Amino acid sequence: MPRTRYRARWLAPIASPPLEDGWVDVDGGVIRAVGAAADAGSDAADREVDLGSVCVLPGLVNAHTHLELSTQRSAVPPARSMPAWAAALMRNLQEEPPGAAPAAIVAAVAELHRAGTALVGDVTNTLASLAALEAGPVEAVVFHELLGFDVAGAAAAAAAERLDRLASERRDERVRVCPAAHAPYSVSPALFRMLAAVPGPRSVHLAESREECEFLRAGTGAWREILDARGRWDPEWRPPGSGPVAYLDALGWLREDSLLVHGVQMRPDEIRRVARSGATIVTCPRSNAWTGAGVPPVAAFYAAGASVAVGTDSLASAPDLNTFAELAEVRRLAPEVPARRILRSGTLAGAAALGRGRTHGAIEPSRCAALIAVETPAAVTDVEEYLLTGIEPEQIAWLDGADAGRGAPAGS
C-alpha cells in the first residue's frame, strides 16, 4: 500500500493538543504516524501532499439524527411546547409516512458527508435509512427504535427478541443495528426492560420536555393526553413520582453503553448521577430551541464530568445536518468550557458512545483515517476555538487517502 504523508498548517488530533505545521501518514485507510514539522518520523512516505492553510481533524460524529424524517425539513414550524411540536409532526407523518421517500434519505446521507461526518447515530422506526447508509460513505449505528406505552409481557419480549435477532444476524460492521426506546412517555416499562437486555449501544430520548417530567411525577399533562387520544394509555401504569434519570435507572438503562438524548430538563443531581454511571448525554441544542423543549444545561453537563456527545437531530427540527453548526451552538451555551472538550463531543465522545471509541474520533496511529481538512485563515492562532465558530460544508474537504477503500466517490 502506498503511504501518503499529508502536511497541514494545523492538525487537531483531539486526544492531544493541536500540532502546528503537522503531518499525518496514511495508508490503506489507516493512520500510521503523526507528527509536527521538527519531527521527521522514522518511515519515509511514498508521496507527500501539502494541504496548505487547513486544519486536519478526524471526521465528525453526529450522534443523533432521524434520517427517515428528511422530507420534513422546515415542514414543522418552531413551537413553544415540545408535545405540541411533536403532535404537528405526527399529523404531517400521517400524510407522508417516515421513510416513504428514499431519495430524501440518500440526499441526507450526502449532506452528512459534505458536512464532514464520518459516523452517525441514526434513529429509525422503519429501518428505511439502512439501505442508504450501507450504500453511502458514512459509517453508522442504526438505532431501531421501538414504541408502545401499552406493550407488555410476551409482546414486549417478542419485539425485543426480533430486534436482537436482526442486530446479531447482520454482518456489515460499517452499519450496525442497535436498540432504541423512544421515550419514557411512549415506551412501557416492560419494553424498556426487555431492550436493556439487547446488546448496546442503546439510545433513548430523555428529560427532553417539561411535560415528560410532569408525566413521570404525576401521570398527567400533554403526554398523557396524547396517549389517551391515540388509545395507547395503560391504566395499570403508575407514575414513579421520580425524575427521568431515576426512572431510567430503575429500568436498567443507566449504564455506560446508553445514549441519553437531550437531557434539557436534567437537574444538577440527575446530571451527576448520569456522570457517575458513564452513560453519554447527547445534546442537540438547536433542535431543543426549535421544538420548544428549552435550553439544555450544557455547561453543567461538562462541569459534572459527564460524557457529552452532540447530534443535530432530524431535519424536522434542525436547519441542516452539520455537526460543526451544532458545536458552535454548544460553544455559545458553554463559553467557559475548553474548546478541546467541546470538539471531543463532536468526535471522540460520540465515537465512544457509538462503540467506535478505539477506531474513530481522534488522530492517532492505527485509527481509521477518515480525516477532513477544514480551510483555516492564516491569522488563526487558536485553531480548536476556530473550529467552534460554525464551519460550513464549503470549507471542508475529505483527505482522499481517508476515503480509499471506503466506497466514497473521489472528490466528494
Task: Tell me the catalytic residues.
Answer: 208
With the C-alpha atoms ordered 184, 248, 174, 110, is the resulting torsion angle positive or negative?
Answer: positive
How far apart, in whole angstroms, are the C-alpha atoms of residue 349 and residue 36? Answer: 25
**DSSP track, 78-139:** --SSHHHHHHHHHHHHHHS-TT--HHHHHHHHHHHHHTTEEEEEEEESS-THHHHHHHSS-E
Determine contact, residues 132/101, Cβ cutoff 8 Å.
no
How far apart, in whole angstroms, are the C-alpha atoms of residue 328 and residue 40? Answer: 35
Residue 60, beta-bridge partner list: 117
Residue 374, beta-bridge partner list: 55, 396
Cell of 306: 459527564
Nearest C-alpha neighbor of 138 from the set 330, 410, 408:
408
Residue 314's contacts (CB-CB under 8 Å, 6 or more residues apart) are 65, 66, 67, 69, 70, 72, 287
Residue 161's contacts (CB-CB under 8 Å, 6 or more residues apart) are 194
Determine contact, residues 267/243, Cβ cutoff 8 Å.
yes
Measured at the CA of 369, the angle between CA 373 and CA 381, to 5 degrees, comes to: 35
Please count the helices (runs of H) and the strands (runs of E) in the chain: 16, 15
